[in-house]
Structure 1
Amino acid sequence: MAKNGKKMETQRSVDQEVKAICDIMRRGNCAGAMQYVPELTWILFLRILDEMEEQERQAAEAVGAAFAPSIEAPYRWSDWAAPGSEFRTELFEKGQGNVFAFVNGPAYGEDNKTSLLPYLKNLEKRPNATAKQKVISEVISGVDRVRIDTERNFLDVLDKVDAITSAAIDDTHVFTLSQVYEGLLLKMGEKGNDGGQFFTPREVIRAIVRVIDPSVGETIYDPGCGTGGFLAQAFEYMTGPKNEKIKSADDLSVLKRDTFWGREKDNVVYPIALANLILHGIDKPNLWHGNTLTDQVGYGGLFEGAPPQFDVILSNPPFGGKEGKDAQSKFDYKTGATQVLFLQHVIANLKKKGRCGIVLDEGLLFRTNEDAFVKTKRKLLDDCNVWCIVSLPGGVFTSAGAGVKTNLVFFTKGERTKRIWYYDLTDIKVLKKTPLVSKHFDEFFKLLPKKEESELSWFVDLDERRKKAAAEASPFKKEAERHARAAAQWNEKLKELKKAKPKKAPAIEKAEAKQKAEAKAARLAAGKAKEIEDAVYDLKAVNPNRKPEVDTRTPEDLLDLIEAKGREIAKVLFALRQ
């Protein structure tokens, strides 16, 4: 709570508390968001975990049930971190260095007892470790020591984090505690920080989840989950703001433990994703730590029992990366392009009749000059029904340090794509101070149920496009076959001439030239046919209904404008001369 004991009733009041914590961490050797967010993650996580366990203990006592805490004394937040706690006071009074010795380890005190971080990391190694203990160990896995420079700064952070609890935040007026943490992740994703690659703008996530409309009983998967934004938003969507969508305790248990699955490679981001999902209320985040594309695992203990395929996949896979042969060897269509391999992974891991909402870059949609791009999109359109593509405005990912033009692609596995409904959002000007917001999707959601055509929406008939391409390519295929047969005949003639005695050099040279010419003509014709057929898989959004902008100004209007601008320039020059 605030120092005066009142609840934080405005977003501004919560933001100020979080900013105060970040300011302390910045002065304490954690300069950028990529430094202080991971540090604050494990601290905030232990604080909230302690609060959750205390609530569970009280609930168990109320019904006379046994309760076993995940963390024992003196390693609970309430023992060592809470202001005024007996053990924290004892550590502080023993002199400088004792707080860090207890936290960092490997041991503390005269008895060389196990310190906090080693204790937490070893929880998952216990023979009877619970799912929550495994999560705790993984959240702490990348923390080797406190990064804040002094014990005084560290204790100041602990004091302020202790004040930000669910009891301190009036969630009837401001957002929930999980959204406080999302605000921190947003800082990490801002331009200039290195975390943009792991962060998807929240309005994009909300739109995708709303379109896919996941329900209780379905499994949700993100193969490159970053900070866990898609999984967290899906949980919020499936429960409702006040759990009003939950029909039974069993439904809630399924959502909290058996619904959400993901993979993340980055050592810093993986524990952040775990903490984010825990703070959103997912008791068992089933996250796999390792390289999705090579299948090299860092830690897979939380992913045990994963289904072979999933009902729903929500993802914003990395784009622009280059993968090596280890990753490519796992896929049918080999390429160094990360996003193409991820799309192949998504198709393979989606159940029949499963639904997917995915962010794909413009390059993947329109490129037809590389086999892996074409074949991956052909498989997508042949094995899945791509029923909607939303063309996002430029700049949506710019605040996250990524200026790539992107699209939202929605599909259902098990049916061939016949028609794609497109929606165009590219007219929206997205800047840092004017980001994409929910109202920008209002018209899209209004038209989506019936997939109506408008100035911003249209259909592309894939069946018609395939049919037209086949007709256009057919003459070139026949031409290629004709030249190939001729090349084969000249090749046989060439063999005969080379066997003949005496050899006739002029005849051999003529046959070789003819064979090469026919083979080249066959390749050119086949290449032209392939180019026509591959063009079917250029899925870039090109709005045919867009009204052209016509400049209706007369020559006199333009002259008046030039004259007015001239006067403005003259005034500025006069002012500068003075």
Structure 2
Amino acid sequence: MSNLSSFVKRIRDVMRNDAGINGDAQRIEQIAWMLFLKVYDAKEEDWEFEDEKYESIIPEELRWRNWAHTENQGDGLTGDKLLNFVNNKLFPTLKNLEISPDTPIRQSIVRTTFEDANNYMKDGVLLRQIVNIIDELDFGSYEETHAFGEIYETILKELQSAGSAGEFYTPRAVTQFMAKMIKPQIGETMADFACGTGGFLSSWIKELEEVKDAKGSISNEESEKIYNSIYAVEKKQFPYMLCVTNMLLHGLDSPKVYHGNSLIYKLLDYTQKDAFDVILMNPPYGGSEKDDIKQNFPADLRSSETADLFMAVIMYRLKKNGRAAVIVPDGFLFGNDNAKNNLKKKLLTDFNLHTIVRLPGSVFSPYTSITTNILFFNNEEPTGKTWFYRVDIPSDRKHFSKTKPMELKHFDDCIAWWNDRKEITDDEGNPKAKCFTAQELIDSNYNFDVCGYPHEEEEILSVAETIQNYEEKRSKLNADIDNLLAQITELHQKAQKGEL
């Protein structure tokens, strides 16, 4: 594709004219299923080359190359014919593909990806224009596939300001920092039980590829271990689809990414075969789980808070001597309900909670201003000491934003400190880095809210910053309104059909 950098803009410009697209989240979901089929078709070309007996799980006429690719087809399907084909043939067939426990992952992901997918576009001519833009991508070229991987990341990043969809995206600087600090080794397994769009998975693979490059050369068996090292689960269909496509773009032919809920299994049923060397996660927080889900957890760890339940899952599925890095909200650090206190007690007495990195409140902006932290702990004998380190906003800005997000370089001071730990006091005399004994934290009634941010004074912004702030908030509000309108419209349509 000659103009890869304009890819997202071209699609956005076309979709703005379609009455069926309401907001960024729907636009990205619309792009997602088409991109999946295009990427999957390119993968199938590779698999056919490697195995002449390979048979696609997708019926021949529904394969991307046979309906979307316009070469030798004139202009291809368009208008009402294309809409009819997509809505009444493509989607129903892919949603109901026959799969069994013996179906290879690389084929079963097609049905799983489409199970709850939607075609929102209502104009078949505009839909054909989008299909043509996507079809220009050449995934047979390594350079273009790699370049598109970067473009795909910008598509995912747009989720951060797409209303509630922002929960599925963890800023890449954060996933890269966590993967770097966990120090992956070839042969280790890594899990994310609420993987969103796959940010931790791609950061893990990137770190392993750097390990491979440092070695100079590795065996085919070791290379296979890199691409077979991940295990991930995502409850919601939309981010699951984005994640699978993300993994295919990263060279994983059979990504072990599953559509489901990690909280539906009884914790006490897990054994060592269900455990992993490394767990990297940003568990959903702020959610609430039903009583039947809570019954899967020991009485002392039952909680209505989703993030607490995921913390319990992580503890039960981390191998002996395994390592974990997990993002938790401030509420976990200072909350003192029964489940939170019991989780923190286990971290101090059954695990080695060696480091807590405190992040600025605007890292996830504009999706949320909730302040978060990264817990680093190992499943090994505790040392009885926990270090806290506060990452401050860089001096050249007041806060992070959509246009000026956090970058990996903003962790440079923390990385330098990580390898040479010492206590640090900031200019106001507040602790920025400090070591606490387990007993001190226990005596504080498990209040981990230390080395935090000083009380912020009222911020005086420049005119440009005020405008930018307003635009970011308006963008999020618009996305929220679009999502609400879409829900109301869907309910109205169901009511008219007598489905309510």
CA contact (8 A) 2:117 2:238 kept: no
My pick for the range that moved more, 416-425 or 354-363, is 416-425
My pick for the range that moved more, 426-435 or 260-269, is 426-435
Partner secondary structure for residue 326 of structure 2: strand
Superposition map of 1:218-229 within 5 A:
218-229=188-199
**Partner residue, 2:64:** 77
**Partner residue, 2:234:** 264
Once residues 98 and 214 of structure 2 are traced to their aligned partners in structure 1, the CA distance between those partners, rounded to angstroms, is 34
CA contact (8 A) 1:320 1:338 kept: yes
Partner secondary structure for residue 61 of structure 2: coil
* Superposition RMSD in Å: 3.0
Distance 1:242 1:218, change over 3 A: closer
Once residues 190 and 6 of structure 2 are traced to their aligned partners in structure 1, the CA distance between those partners, rounded to angstroms, is 35
**Partner residue, 1:383:** 350
Partner secondary structure for residue 26 of structure 2: helix
Partner secondary structure for residue 352 of structure 1: strand
Is residue 83 of structure 2 the alignment partner of residue 100 of structure 1? Answer: yes
- Deviation of 1:89 after TM superposition, in Å, equals 4.8
Is residue 360 of structure 2 the alignment partner of residue 361 of structure 1? Answer: no
Matching residue's letter, 2:444? A
**Partner residue, 1:133:** 107
- Deviation of 1:221 after TM superposition, in Å, equals 0.8
Once residues 72 and 249 of structure 1 are traced to their aligned partners in structure 2, the CA distance between those partners, rounded to angstroms, is 33
Partner secondary structure for residue 97 of structure 1: helix
Partner secondary structure for residue 43 of structure 1: helix
Superposition map of 1:500-511 within 5 A:
none
Q: Percent identical across equivalent pairs?
A: 29
CA contact (8 A) 1:26 1:32 kept: no
**Partner residue, 1:178:** 149
CA contact (8 A) 1:141 1:271 kept: no
Partner secondary structure for residue 311 of structure 1: strand
Matching residue's letter, 1:83? T
Matching residue's letter, 1:47? K
- Structure 1 portions without partners, runs of 5+: 3-7, 9-13, 106-114, 297-304, 467-532, 550-578
Equivalenced residue count is 439
**Partner residue, 1:398:** 365
- Deviation of 1:307 after TM superposition, in Å, equals 3.8
Cα shift readout 1:312-351 (whole Å, capped 9, x = no counterpart): 1000111222223222222232222222221111111111
Is residue 189 of structure 2 the alignment partner of residue 202 of structure 1? Answer: no
- Deviation of 1:170 after TM superposition, in Å, equals 4.7
Distance 1:339 1:67, change over 3 A: closer
Question: Segments of 4+ in structure 1 off by > 4 A?
Answer: 88-92, 167-171, 241-246
Distance 1:136 1:463, change over 3 A: closer
Is residue 460 of structure 2 the alignment partner of residue 460 of structure 1? Answer: no
- Deviation of 1:43 after TM superposition, in Å, equals 0.4
Matching residue's letter, 1:142? D
Cα shift readout 1:283-308 (whole Å, capped 9, x = no counterpart): 22222323322349xxxxxxxx9941
Partner secondary structure for residue 389 of structure 1: strand
Matching residue's letter, 2:91? L
Cα shift readout 1:76-119 (whole Å, capped 9, x = no counterpart): 22211012343x75645xxx5322333222xxxxxxxxx33333
- Deviation of 1:414 after TM superposition, in Å, equals 2.2
CA contact (8 A) 1:323 1:336 kept: yes
Partner secondary structure for residue 74 of structure 1: helix
CA contact (8 A) 2:232 2:257 kept: yes
- Structure 2 portions without partners, runs of 5+: 427-431, 457-500
Once residues 219 and 153 of structure 2 are traced to their aligned partners in structure 1, the CA distance between those partners, rounded to angstroms, is 28
Cα shift readout 1:195-218 (whole Å, capped 9, x = no counterpart): 111111110110000001222211
**Partner residue, 1:430:** 399
Partner secondary structure for residue 221 of structure 1: strand
Is residue 66 of structure 2 the alignment partner of residue 38 of structure 1? Answer: no
Partner secondary structure for residue 278 of structure 2: strand
Q: 1:339 aligns with which of 302, 307, 323?
A: 307
CA contact (8 A) 1:48 1:165 kept: no
**Partner residue, 2:375:** 409
Distance 1:361 1:118, change over 3 A: same
Matching residue's letter, 2:129? D
Superposition map of 1:525-544 within 5 A:
535-542=444-451
Cα shift readout 1:101-149 (whole Å, capped 9, x = no counterpart): 33222xxxxxxxxx333333344526863221101111122235x3211
**Partner residue, 1:420:** 386
Is residue 198 of structure 2 the alignment partner of residue 215 of structure 1? Answer: no
Once residues 117 and 344 of structure 1 are traced to their aligned partners in structure 2, the CA distance between those partners, rounded to angstroms, is 38
Is residue 134 of structure 2 the alignment partner of residue 161 of structure 1? Answer: yes
Cα shift readout 1:417-453 (whole Å, capped 9, x = no counterpart): 4111222113444231332111111111122123243
**Partner residue, 2:461:** none
Distance 1:82 1:240, change over 3 A: farther
- Deviation of 1:410 after TM superposition, in Å, equals 0.4
Distance 1:135 1:244, change over 3 A: farther
Once residues 315 and 379 of structure 1 are traced to their aligned partners in structure 2, the CA distance between those partners, rounded to angstroms, is 18
Partner secondary structure for residue 370 of structure 2: coil
CA contact (8 A) 1:315 1:359 kept: yes
Superposition map of 1:55-70 within 5 A:
55-58=46-49, 66-70=53-57
**Partner residue, 1:234:** 204
TM-score by length of 1: 0.70
Distance 1:289 1:276, change over 3 A: same
**Partner residue, 1:350:** 318
Matching residue's letter, 2:405? P
Distance 1:440 1:175, change over 3 A: farther
